[in-house]
Amino acid sequence: MRGAGKGRRLVSLGGWCGPGLMLSKLGLRAPEDQYPFDVVRATLDGVVHFTGNGFGPEFFPPGPLPYKMDPASIWLLFRGPHTCFTHMDLNRKQVLDEFQWRFNNWSELMSGKRGPVVFLRTSLCENPFMEAGLLPMWEEAVTAKSKGALDFKTVLIVHNQGSETVQVAAPTANSSVWNLALYTTVLPTASLFDRTEVGYRTIISAVSDEQCWAPDRSLSAAPTECLNTSLELATVEGVPAMGGTCKGIGSTASVAVGRCVFCGSSDQHAVVDPTTFDTHKSWSEEDRAMLLATFAGTSDIVATCEAIALQQGRSAHEVLTEFRKLTSG
């Protein structure tokens, strides 16, 4: 499936799930166009690392199975050095098998057999423009991996750095940086996806047109200073999303030196107090019965725990703790 009739396949490089979700919503992502970075938060230097070196154990949390779940508000996070997995239970064989299928899709994409590509990436680091400095390294990694067979362009999207959704820079001939302005007419309680949907639609439509990539673009290299970090995706409810970095960038450097290059953490930014988000509300017998019945009907602990936490207004930690207490005997 290609974008806007121009022959370029649109592929999500993640950052968060927004780009992939929007491609699906617009009917621009076929089932075979699901790749490893669609559904995870991953540092861009981590993406470069995996592109050049393959998807080894560092892609997942420190093993062996079962992987440890870290709680953050209603979410149960699985965090690797360069990656963060939400909404999915990595301890299920079905989920791991799906990732192997996505790895195989990525290998075929890198071979050039799936045709020319536009990669869509949302910056997740605390200073979103810092990722722009890695675009030349990213291009070198893809060119080396594909042996020059893949015709590709890259769009880096930064959230909420201005009042317009507009292209702000062209760091290389085959890359562009776009600001995505928040959609302000939705309810303040709307999800991040709802607040950014109009912006993503605008960007995807524009970059699907080859005229957007005219060689005479007058845009300069990307700016380095951000205006607004309120929507940065480097953390989940204040918990660093990736074990190797608290800023959303530099995870490969952190792995190399054995500590976070920003804060010095040497324990993969472990959650010090898992009760931080607990409400300490008592559990009624009806609540406990619902808890047991809901968990009994599913094999996906993560999705079930998150759903109950949202419904009950509790933290994932206290939901999972109560479930384990009820079933430990």
Nearest to 44 by CA among 133, 114, 177: 133
Question: What is the model's pLDDT at position 304?
Answer: 94
Digit-coded pLDDT (tens) for 250-263: 999 999 999 999 99
Digit-coded pLDDT (tens) for 126-149: 999 999 999 999 999 999 999 999
pLDDT band (50, 70, 90) for residue 245? very high
Average pLDDT, the chain: 92
Distance CA 178, CA 121 (A): 10
Residue holding tokens 């075979």? Answer: 32
Distance CA 232, CA 238 (A): 11
* 95, two tokens: 């989920």
- The yes-or-no verdict on residue 3 having pLDDT over 50 is no
User: Quick one: average pLDDT of 187-205?
Assistant: 90
Digit-coded pLDDT (tens) for 106-116: 999 999 999 99
Residues in the chain: 329
Question: What is the model's pLDDT at position 231?
Answer: 75
Is residue 134 within 8 Å of residue 47, measured between CB atoms?
Answer: no
pLDDT band (50, 70, 90) for residue 329? low
- The yes-or-no verdict on residue 94 having pLDDT over 80 is yes
pLDDT band (50, 70, 90) for residue 1? very low
